Amino acid sequence: MTKEHNQSALTRSEKPPAVSPEMDSKFLSFRPLLASKRPPPPPNKGYFFKFLNNEVKLIKWTFEDNGFREGKKDWMIGWANSALRSNVYQSLTRWQKVNHFPRSHEITKKDSLFKNFSRMQSLHGKKHYDFVPETYVLPGDLNDLTDTIEKDPSQLWIVKPSGSSQGKGIFLTNKVQEIPPGQPMVASKYIMNPLLINQLKFDMRIYVAVTSVDPLRIYIYEEGLVRFATSSYDLNNPENRFGHLTNYSLNKFAPNFQDLQEDGKGYKWTISALKEFLLKHKVDWDKIWNCIKDIVIKTMISIESTMTAGVNMFVPYRNNCFELLGFDILLDDSLRPWLIEVNLSPSLNIDTSIDFKVKCPMLSELLTIIGVPCIKYQKKRKEVPGSRPAWSNSFQPLNQELTKNEVRVIQETMREISRSEKFECIFPSRNSYTYKQFFDTERPLNALMMAHFSSGSKREMHLNQLHSYEAKIEKMRNKHYRLKKEEMRYNLTPSRFLGTKSNVKELAKL
């Protein structure tokens, strides 16, 4: 972290930590980290987190600043920087969460991403998935790539190792002979006409959160990072990595690199600074942003069936998983967004003041919207080790009364959205039906949420049923409270007042 962060100018937030005597809601509300020093160790209040592999300083400090302690047992949130093994998912309890879904790496591995897009293009037409450059997965597609290069020798191709990150092993070429034989790589048509600012190439890091796969819920963070190359863009010099690659981890070692620590002037900006710059030049930013949302939704739908199958197979409870993804988007000189890649665990390192400004509030809001319950609201239920209490996804016709499970899904979604600020829920939304054609399977809960958001009459009907359901619950809780008071007053057994076993079981489910 920079010296700027070490100064006392950054004061602590007036918002109390998530774990505090002031908390009065069912779910914890996390505050962003506003100081660069590690917060003092919090007292043990029974809230624990765990790193499932490598430690990340920002995550550790954010948890500690909000009253969590690191622990190996009884942890509530597990954080991993790579894909998790199936046994980790299978061992989760009702109140534990991890930051990955099974098989989400299907869009973060470069070869898998383009294989999925190729499948979607063959099913739905290239016009719906035309936001990725033409790509060949090597070594399997080497002959096809060779034929394509021979047809247009002037076109450059960017070659990347399938599992690399931070710009490692990437190079530009228009000669097949320069590609290492037999190695797993992807070769994509190089966008030779990128939009330039001050003669520099740039891309955008867009943060995306997925909180559920059935029903599918996708959020996009309105703030993000803009990463610039450090050398002027020159097609005649394809060997200059500092002019063609925008990875900050690479460009900070450029000879002319300077960290100006001022938004809109250095080699790293916020999305807000880019938006302001483009608006001054009469660019329609809303059109660009809506295209980016469309890219995100279609990308997630491309692996929806794969992820859902993994969740149904390995994950015990619907709310065990969430995901933070980093989408890298490039604009060409016609202002068309292109998806470059998706990152499974986007970097949360703090290298500049811009990182601090973007990543700290983003992380705290992510932890807030996923719904980490207070311990006092965690109902103790008997759990059988190794069992999978699979959730029901049955769906009644929209003109019938909602089932209890459907009511809970709608409540869960609306409450989750109400906890968000800069994370915008882009699926489900009012235009969700336009994406119905891209799903491999029409899932009842997706249909429910599409109807809820897209139809005013259906939403009104659902809300009336929700209010009726909540009133019924409140009535039963009040009755239960009165009976418990009588029980304590006269020291009587619960069965004397609570009635039949069926009533007891019904109340226990609330």
- Summarised one tens digit per residue, pLDDT across range 179-205 is 999 999 999 999 999 999 999 999 999
pLDDT value of position 259: 79
Joined together, the tokens standing for residue 412 give: 């869960």
Could you tell me which residues come within 8 angstroms of residue 89 by beta carbon, excluding any fewer than 6 positions away?
98, 102, 314, 315, 316, 320, 321
User: Residue 308's closest CA among 80, 300, 453, 99?
Assistant: 300
pLDDT value of position 420: 96
Q: Is the pLDDT higher at 76 or at 4?
A: 76
Q: Is the pLDDT higher at 133 or at 472?
A: 133
Residue 228 CA: distances (Å) to CA of 18, 155, 169, 273, 320: 36, 23, 19, 13, 37
Residue 375 CA: distances (Å) to CA of 33, 82, 404, 473: 23, 28, 24, 21
pLDDT score of 374 more than 50: yes
Q: What 3-state DSSP class applies to 244?
A: helix
Residue whose pair of structure tokens reads 């009104």 in the numeric block: 460
**pLDDT range class, residue 505, cuts 50, 70, 90:** very low
pLDDT value of position 119: 96
What's the per-residue H, E or C state across 298-333?
A: HHHHCCHHHHHHHHHHHCCCCCCECEEEEEEEEEEC
Question: What is the C-alpha to C-alpha distance for residues 208 and 323, in angstroms, rounded to an integer?
Answer: 8
β-pair type (69-70, 77-79) = unpaired
Vertex 449 angle, CA 455 and 129, to 5°: 95
Say what percent of the chain tops pLDDT 90: 70
Whether the Cβ atoms of residue 247 and residue 224 lie closer than 8 Å to each other = no
Say what percent of the chain tops pLDDT 70: 81
Q: How many CB atoms lie within 10 A of CB 88?
A: 17
pLDDT value of position 20: 86
Look over the chain and give the mean of its residue pLDDT values, rounded to a whole number: 86
Whether the Cβ atoms of residue 441 and residue 497 lie closer than 8 Å to each other = no
pLDDT score of 227 more than 90: yes
Question: What is the C-alpha to C-alpha distance for residues 329 and 131, in angstroms, rounded to an integer?
Answer: 10
Question: What is the C-alpha to C-alpha distance for residues 437 and 410, in angstroms, rounded to an integer?
Answer: 22
